[in-house]
Amino acid sequence: MNNQTFESVISKSKQQLTKWKANTLSQEGRSTLIKSNLSAKPIYTMQSFLLPKQTLKELDEVNKKFFWNKGEKHRAPINWDEICKSKANGGTGIRKAEDINIALQMKLLWKIIAEPYNIWVRIIHEKYLKNADLKLYEKRGQTSWQWGKLISLRKQFFEGIKWVVGDGKTINFWQDRWLTDIPLIESVADKDSIDKSLLVCDLINSNKDWDRPKIFQLLIGKLRRRTIRTILEYNIPTNDFQDRMYWKESNNGWFSTKSSVQLLHKNKGHKPSELKWIWDLDCAPKIRNFMWRISKSGLQTKERLQQRRIAVPMECELCGHHSEGFFHLFMECNFVKDIIHNTKKHLFDLIFPYNQNLGNEKELLMELKEKIGIRHMSALATTWWSIWYFRNQRVFNNDKSSKEKIGKFLLGEQNNWRIANEAEKKGDLVKRNQTLP
């Protein structure tokens, strides 16, 4: 199988994410449609096959072009890998095609070990596994293309599996995750000196307690004394309790595609963002997206365009200052400061003066959030978005709206959001009342 085999997957995504749709939606709207499209159109194929990397790359290209709504030669101001992080980790929540594909394939591996009586699982055992342990299975002879791809994901998959010790008969002492989230074999320097087939039950005596003499004999010199002490403190059930496996990335212990993607992200080194509160701002989704772009230094001010070697006149469109950078436009431009002062004087008094020694937009956002709190940051976000909107109107449409008009517009935006929220809450209340007996 090759890229041409799955050409229909790419063409269907292109048909869904058309240019005219992109033109009618905000970037946040396009982001939502990408998530919906990627979780619907190619889902059946992704559940059935591990797609070629080129196919997955082309799916990402389709999504990326739609997200930015630009031409072929457009250089995105924010890296696609950064965009495809979870919101908690500093991204937009869009998932890369490869991550979704791998997560859906891992679901099949979970089915093999968690649903032994499933018809498909019984066929897999009959044809390939021959009732062998999935973890220890070695491919012999010719197998199907898809089976080979599926078992190639075992290492990633078993990183999400953890065990609770019962009788210890199914847990590999060295290679399974049962004591901590890291297999004990990772703590051993000379891995050839240990018995990799050792089971936990081999170190439990007939009284259902740890066999201390055997543990000391086998583990002293292999593991740290602190680790051995932790093993001896692990409580072994005294009743006939079988070993239990669970998916450590989810709250209920059962596999889910979402938690699987989270595991893949964790393995890539994704870490919680200090600015995840941006997605909790009390403002329209398009404005939260705007603030996210600011946090990534992705707003295309003239100064930023010049840094990317795009030649544009550098003067501020609003006040005529010789250079339009982010800090000038939103924190120093007298035209903008007058708008904030005239429409939200309490906000003006809270944010000015500001620390001019900050290095970038992220540092400013963090300082302002600590200084004025999330409620006032919501108001500031709507204010900044309105200013950026009219700045763009001036650049592209020569619309030289007055400070008063811009002030009325931003107050209207806030009022529209408040009305929409109240209507939604009222609708939810009516629905709840209708379901009451």
Beta bridge partners of 245: 163
Cα–Cα distance between 138 and 147 in angstroms, integer?
12
Cα–Cα distance between 369 and 132 in angstroms, integer?
56
Q: Which of 166, 162, 181 is nearest to 236 (CA)?
A: 166
Q: Are 158 and 144 in contact (CB under 8 A)?
A: no
Do the domain assignments include residue 115? yes
Specify the pLDDT at position 428: 58
Mean of per-residue pLDDT scores for the chain? 91
Phi-psi region of 265 (alpha: psi -120 to 50; beta: other; left: phi over 0): alpha
Specify the pLDDT at position 433: 53
What is the H or E stretch that residue 378 is in? helix 361-397
Specify the pLDDT at position 73: 74
Specify the pLDDT at position 38: 66
Specify the pLDDT at position 189: 87
Structure tokens at 69: 């709504």
| pLDDT tens digits, 414-425 | 999 999 888 777
Query: How is 303-315 classified by DSSP, letter by letter?
Result: HHHHHTT-----S
**44 confidence band (pLDDT: 50, 70, 90):** confident
Name the domain count of the chain: 2
Cα–Cα distance between 12 and 130 in angstroms, integer?
38
Cα–Cα distance between 323 and 391 in angstroms, integer?
14
Do the domain assignments include residue 10? yes
Cα–Cα distance between 255 and 248 in angstroms, integer?
9
Tokens 């250079």 belong to residue: 323
pLDDT (mean) for 345-350: 94
Q: Are 93 and 278 in contact (CB under 8 A)?
A: no
Specify the pLDDT at position 436: 47
Tokens 């500093």 belong to residue: 90
What is the H or E stretch that residue 230 is in? helix 225-233
pLDDT-above-90 percentage for the chain? 75
Specify the pLDDT at position 22: 80
- Angstrom distances, CA of residue 83 to CA of 26, 27, 60, 293: 16, 12, 11, 10
Do the domain assignments include residue 59? yes
Do the domain assignments include residue 165? no
Specify the pLDDT at position 143: 85
Question: Does residue 187 sit in helix, strand or coil?
Answer: helix
pLDDT (mean) for 140-159: 91
Do the domain assignments include residue 361? yes
**14 confidence band (pLDDT: 50, 70, 90):** confident
> Does the pLDDT value for residue 198 go beyond 80?
yes
Q: Which of 122, 146, 170 is the last residue of a domain?
A: 146
Do the domain assignments include residue 80? yes
> Does the pLDDT value for residue 34 go beyond 80?
yes
Do the domain assignments include residue 55? yes
> Does the pLDDT value for residue 124 go beyond 90?
yes
Specify the pLDDT at position 431: 53
Tokens 């679901």 belong to residue: 107
Domain of residue 60 covers 1-146
pLDDT (mean) for 110-132: 92
> Does the pLDDT value for residue 19 go beyond 90?
no
For residue 376, which amino acid is it?
A: H
pLDDT (mean) for 424-434: 59
**Is there a single domain that holds both residue 282 and residue 429?**
yes
- Which segment of 72-76, 211-215, 289-293 scores lowest on mean pLDDT? 72-76
For residue 164, which amino acid is it?
A: V
Q: Which of 97, 120, 146 is the last residue of a domain?
A: 146
Specify the pLDDT at position 60: 93
Question: Model pTM greater than 0.85?
Answer: yes
Cα–Cα distance between 200 and 101 in angstroms, integer?
34
- Residue 71 phi/psi, 5° resolution? -80, -175
> Does the pLDDT value for residue 115 go beyond 50?
yes
What is the H or E stretch that residue 58 is in? helix 53-68
Q: Are 34 and 66 in contact (CB under 8 A)?
A: yes
Structure tokens at 91: 């991204």
Q: What is the DSSP letter of 204?
A: B
Q: Which of 146, 173, 189 is the last residue of a domain?
A: 146
Do the domain assignments include residue 70? yes
Cα–Cα distance between 178 and 164 in angstroms, integer?
6
| pLDDT tens digits, 168-192 | 999 999 999 999 999 999 999 888 8
